[in-house]
Amino acid sequence: MFSPSSTKAAWWLATFFSVFVTGEMPIQAELEPEFLQALENHTVTQGRDVHFTCVVNHLSNYRVAWIKSDSKAILAIHTNMVALNPRLSVTYNNHNTWKLHVSNVQANDSGTYMCQVNTDPMKSQMGHLSVVIPPDIVDSVTEGSSAQEGGSIRLTCTATGVPPPTVLWRREHNRPIVFRHDGGRERKVVDSHKGETLELAHVQRTDMGAYYCIASNGIPPTISRRYHVEVHFIPQVKVTNQLVGAPLGSDVELQCFIEASPKAMNSWYREDALLSDKLTENPKLRVSETIMNEYSLWINLTIKSLAPADYGTYVCASVNALGKMESQVSLHRLELSMNGFGAEEPMVSGAAWQRARNAPSHRARPAASHAHQYFLTQHLPPQLYALLLTVLRYIHSF
Ligand SMILES: *[C@@H]1O[C@H](CO)[C@@H](O)[C@H](O)[C@H]1NC(C)=O
Ligand SMILES: *[C@@H]1O[C@H](CO)[C@@H](O)[C@H](O)[C@H]1NC(C)=O
Ligand SMILES: *[C@@H]1O[C@H](CO)[C@@H](O)[C@H](O)[C@H]1NC(C)=O
């Protein structure tokens, strides 16, 4: 090994002899080391590899060193590593190019790196390394939340990343987010909400569903998390018509609309039947469900070819953890009218009229007649009602 001073002495000796022999100073001896290009700045995603390139001409016997300038730590001299960091290495192309490699870049590798030559005064140049980190969502807490109608729900989404991510809340299917203030009297409707927490006060059943927290900071990939919001309430049960008249032998459909959350047990039963009498076991009857959304559905009861025993009171009921609600339909018999109009079109009130299976009502005008019927069914005995209905429909058909 040569010490730097002995190397230098030897170099001067060589120069002396070359001057002595040729009578000229070698051109190289006058040239100081110089950098050929600036050190780069890098923005790198955590986990990737990166390198700085330092190109020095006329280095002669000087040495290139790499220094982390914020910590003043010497990382490497020539191709010898000084820092005890296995992710750092230096390569030299045996000409004029030195490279400092940083593999699997970490957040604490950010900072200013210096390529230095040990002239006096020393020469150096600097480059910056910024390490960026894609967003992550760090909450370990529950991903769903529930409240009773009128209560509050608070969702939190803590995001990390470099630079710090922006957190945005959205609802599934682009449904609007509704903020209610002042006990629900004031509403603010938005498509998205910015911030790590989403606070829903005075929640309503329409607020139910999936919410997404989306964290982004310009470094892919953007990340999102799904939260499920559930709003609980006592079931709500509504039959389309409380009074339904239908003639013997016809089919009738009783319609019932239910809203419930959490999920409810829904059923139709005969008010005057024994508890053990299951409607579903009667082959003349069919209950069909139409799901409208997460918390509402129709359950329609179809009774085929009405027999005298089928008339009576039917109950549509729904029960969940918060309570039970029911609604009744009184199904009564309509006599076929004598005057010929009704003979081909048995009269059935309300929706049942529109749906009576064995009574195709091509001449019926349900939209126009509906209001009359409904009013009448509340106040008249069925026989009189049937008669009036015939008159009304006779008028309507002109
Ligand atoms: C690197 O960044 C510094 C400071 O932001 C700037 O002065 C310098 O010119 C940049 N270097 C290059 C090669 O772009
Ligand atoms: C930098 O971070 C890495 C990974 O988090 C760690 O292993 C290393 O010890 C840290 N180095 C310093 C100097 O803090
Ligand atoms: C039940 O009745 C409602 C209201 O008329 C209707 O929208 C729904 O399609 C019906 N469901 C079935 C299965 O017939």
| DSSP per-residue letters across 191-204 | SEEESSEEEE-S--
| CA distances in angstroms from 219 to 76, 168, 170, 199, 370, listed in the order given | 31, 16, 20, 27, 61
Q: How far apart are the first and last CA of the chain?
A: 120
Short-list 236, 243, 271, CA closest to 257: 236
SS in 3 state form for 222-278? CEEEEEEEEEEEEEEEEECCCEEEECCCCCEEEEEEEEEECCCEEEEEECCCCCCCC
Mind listing the pLDDT tens digit for each residue in 182-207?
Answer: 877 889 999 999 999 999 999 999 99
CA of 75 to the centre of ligand 1 (A): 21
Residue that is written with structure tokens 């109950």 in the block: 315
Pocket test for ligand 1, best of 40, 41, 70 (most atoms within 8 A of CB): 41
Instruction: Give yes or no for a cis peptide into 262 (omega within 30° of 0).
Output: yes
CA of 108 to the centre of ligand 2 (A): 6
Mean pLDDT of 85-111: 96
Report CA 377 to chain centroid distance, whole Å.
48
β-strands 153-156, 223-239 pairing: unpaired
> With bands split at pLDDT 50, 70 and 90, how would you rate the model's confidence at 16?
very low
Ligand nearest to the CA of 109: 2
pLDDT at site 98: 97
Helices 382-396 and 366-379: crossing angle in degrees, nearest 10, is 160
Q: Is the pTM of this model over 0.75?
A: no
Short-list 127, 166, 125, 124, CA closest to 44: 127
Q: Is 349 in contact with 361 (CB distance < 8 Å)?
A: no
Q: How far is 155 from 112, CA to CA, in rounded Å?
A: 40
User: What six digits make up the tokens of 29?
Assistant: 């001896």
**pLDDT above 90 (res 50):** yes
| CA distances in angstroms from 381 to 113, 275, 346, 393, listed in the order given | 96, 30, 17, 18
CA of 290 to the centre of ligand 3 (A): 6
Q: How far is 244 from 354, CA to CA, in rounded Å?
A: 11
Q: Is 38's C-beta closer than 6 angstroms to any atom of ligand 1?
A: yes
**pLDDT above 70 (res 17):** no
- Going by alpha carbons, the residue nearest to atom 1 of ligand 1 is 41
Q: Is 298's C-beta closer than 6 angstroms to any atom of ligand 3?
A: yes
Q: Give bridge partners of residue 324 from the DSSP assignment.
A: 319
pLDDT at site 359: 36
Short-list 211, 41, 204, CA closest to 112: 41
**pLDDT above 70 (res 346):** no
> With bands split at pLDDT 50, 70 and 90, how would you rate the model's confidence at 349?
very low
Q: Is 106's C-beta closer than 6 angstroms to any atom of ligand 2?
A: yes
> pLDDT above 70 covers what percent of the chain?
74
Mean pLDDT of 313-342: 86
Mind listing the pLDDT tens digit for each residue in 134-157?
Answer: 999 998 666 679 999 999 999 999
Arithmetic mean of pLDDT over the chain: 82
Pocket test for ligand 2, best of 71, 74, 82, 106 (most atoms within 8 A of CB): 106
CA angle 111, 123, 55 (to 5 degrees): 75
Q: Tell me the range of 128-132, 273-277, 371-375 where mean pLDDT is highest.
A: 128-132
Short-list 273, 295, 297, CA closest to 285: 273
pLDDT at site 128: 97
CA of 254 to the centre of ligand 3 (A): 9
Q: Is 288's C-beta closer than 6 angstroms to any atom of ligand 3?
A: yes
Mind listing the pLDDT tens digit for each residue in 288-321?
Answer: 999 999 999 999 999 999 999 999 999 999 999 9
Does residue 339 sit in helix, strand or coil?
Answer: coil
β-strands 144-148, 223-239 pairing: parallel
Residue that is written with structure tokens 């005995």 in the block: 381
Short-list 191, 32, 189, CA closest to 117: 32
Q: How far is 383 from 265, CA to CA, in rounded Å?
A: 37
Q: Is 59 in contact with 145 (CB distance < 8 Å)?
A: no
pLDDT at site 386: 56
Q: How far is 23 from 29, CA to CA, in rounded Å?
A: 14
